[in-house]
Every structure is written in C-alpha cells, then in structure tokens.
C-alpha cells in the first residue's frame, strides 16, 4: 500500500535560460536558450514523491493569472491532490528566473508572489498524515504546520533562512545541503531526529543524534541541469523512510533520484519515476 504525504510549500513557474556559462555580477551573457517549466520547491517535492508511488496532497497558493495553470500542469497530470492549492485573486503566481550553464550548475532568483499568501490561517487539517515542508512560504506557516502536525514531519531547510529551535526539534527528518548546513551550524547539533546532508556529486550522509548512520554515493550521470535534483532527493528520502526502508537503502534510493533528476533539463520534467530509480546502478548493495 502506498504511503500518504502532505506537502506544504511553494508553486512557481520556472523561466530557464540555458547557456554556455553563468554570468558574473554586472556581466551580460548572450546565446542562451529559454524554456519554461513548472517549479517551486513545494510543487517539485510533491511531484517527486508522487512519481515514486506516494499519494500526495499539495497545500499551496498560485495567482489568478495565466502562469497558474502552467505551473500546476504536471502536478495535475500525475494525480497530485490540488484541492488545497488555490488561486489568490490579488497576487501573481511565483516565478523563478534560472540560469543554467553547460555543466549543469545554476543561479536562481525567485519572485515568490502568491506563495507569500499561504498564511497560517489558511492551513487545512493535517490529520495524522506525514508532512514535508520547505522554506519558500512564510516562516509562520512552516512553524504553525510543524506544531500542528501529528504524524511524521520532514523539513527541507531550503532556501536557508531563520527558523525557531522548537521547529527543528520537532522535525523527524531535516534535509540540508552543505551550504545550508554551514548556515545553520550549531543549530543542527543535538537534534533528536534524523539529519540528511547532501553533498552534490559526492552523495549524501544521514545522521541520528549526531551519529553517522548511513552514507551513499549517487550513480554516475552526466549532469545537464541540477535544478530540482535536491527536491528529487528530498521527496525520495521521505517516501523511502515512510515505506520503512532501512536508512542505508533509503539514502541510496534518494541519491539515485537526485542524480537522475540532474541528468535531464528542468525541475519537474526531470523528476524520475519509481521504475527509473529502482533500475539505477548501485540502488542495491
């Protein structure tokens, strides 16, 4: 039986310029190719979990504009429950402006728009479902959700921002990359839950109460676009842990999902299916 997961988070439309190199401050780089993809960390992680077999509800907000349906198209097509992802009349759908270089590295600037309208008073009843959150919606909404949750709570601390210690201590799983881990520093020490730290092409490590309990390397891929790779990892790790996979197996599963996402362009279009992840080299010891 599939796991059930509620994702509380952002919905964006990604405008992606893929070129030979990323611009330096004050520099104009031409010759890029423009593409539009659905995105937003909340939406990406919801779709990642759905494609890996979970029953997923997304709680979010879009604007009453032409970008909204485009931003929700892949979620709708894959069967994510969007009954709590509603339009805000006086706001614009969030937009991410993304530059991608030939080696897959990226720079991202986000105009959050309607995502800031997801205030705590608009949150639905979470029941006992597992919850996955990120930090692209108001901090008060994240902290209220964590306090109200009665089931498993996973918190992806991205993008890095101030968050209360009480919220960190309640989370059953925290996910950060190396930069985010450095930002939070000592705040991540002594937490009772699991802590996953992603290391890019070097894989990831999983800690419990400061003790390393698992580490994994991703399968070898040619990186095309790393946008969404972290979201694929987050969705996959949560699904695997909810399914009862061991820490080692769950981390291998998540690393494979992230690597496969990095091997294709776009955030949501790149998110792999369950079959693709299970067929990845190194997924089994």
Query: For 51-99, how does the pLDDT look when each residue is reduced to its tens digit (9 = 90+)?
Result: 999 999 999 999 999 999 999 999 999 999 999 999 999 999 999 898 9
Distance of CA 79 to the CA centre of its chain: 18
Residues 258 and 198: beta-carbon distance below 8 Å: yes
d(CA 270, CA 228): 8
d(CA 149, CA 126): 6
| pTM score | 0.93
Spatial distance between the Cα atoms of 41 and 232, rounded to a whole number of angstroms: 10
pLDDT value for 285: 67
Is residue 231 among the annotated active site residues? Answer: yes
> pLDDT by residue for the chain (285 residues), tens digit each?
589 999 999 999 999 899 999 999 999 989 999 999 899 999 999 999 999 999 999 999 999 999 999 999 999 999 999 999 999 999 999 998 989 898 888 898 989 999 999 999 999 999 899 999 999 999 999 999 999 999 999 999 999 999 999 999 999 999 999 999 999 999 999 999 999 999 998 999 999 999 999 999 999 898 888 888 999 999 999 999 999 999 999 999 999 999 999 999 888 999 999 999 999 987 876
User: So what's the pLDDT on residue 222?
Assistant: 86
pLDDT number for residue 1: 57
Contacts for 99 with CB less than 8 Å, ≥ 6 apart: 16, 17, 19, 22, 23, 29, 32, 106, 107, 108
Catalytic residue, chosen from 14, 65, 81, 231, is 231
How would you list the strands of the sheet with 4-8, edge to edge?
85-88, 55-63, 4-8, 130-133, 153-156, 173-177, 194-198, 204-208, 211-216
pLDDT tens-digit readout, 200-227: 989 999 999 999 999 999 998 988 888 8
């Amino acid at each position: 039986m599939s796991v059930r997961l509620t994702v509380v988070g952002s919905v964006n439309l990604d405008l992606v310029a893929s070129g030979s190199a990323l611009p330096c401050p004050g520099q104009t780089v031409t010759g890029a190719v423009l593409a539009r993809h659905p995105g937003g960390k909340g939406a990406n992680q919801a779709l990642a979990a759905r494609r890996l077999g979970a029953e997923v509800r997304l709680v979010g907000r879009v604007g009453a504009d032409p970008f909204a349906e485009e931003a929700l198209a892949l979620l709708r097509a894959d069967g994510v429950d969007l009954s709590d992802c509603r339009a805000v009349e006086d706001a614009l759908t969030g937009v991410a402006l993304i530059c991608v270089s030939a080696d897959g590295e990226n720079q991202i600037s986000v105009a959050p728009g309607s995502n800031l309208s997801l205030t705590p008073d608009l949150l639905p009843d979470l029941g006992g479902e597992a919850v996955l959150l990120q930090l692209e919606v108001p901090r008060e909404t994240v902290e209220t959700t964590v306090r109200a949750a009665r089931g498993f709570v996973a918190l992806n601390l991205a993008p890095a921002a101030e968050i209360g210690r009480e919220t960190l201590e309640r989370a059953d799983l925290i996910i950060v990359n190396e930069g985010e881990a450095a930002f939070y520093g000592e705040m991540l020490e002594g937490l009772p839950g699991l802590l996953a730290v992603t290391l890019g092409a070097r894989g990831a490590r999983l800690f419990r109460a400061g003790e390393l309990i698992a580490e994994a390397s991703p399968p070898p891929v040619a990186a095309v676009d790393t946008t969404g790779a972290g979201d694929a990892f987050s969705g996959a790790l949560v699904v695997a842990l909810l399914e009862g996979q061991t820490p080692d197996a769950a981390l291998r599963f998540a690393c494979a999902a992230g690597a496969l996402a990095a091997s294709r362009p776009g955030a949501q279009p790149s998110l792999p299916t369950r079959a693709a992840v299970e067929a990845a080299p190194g997924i089994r010891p």
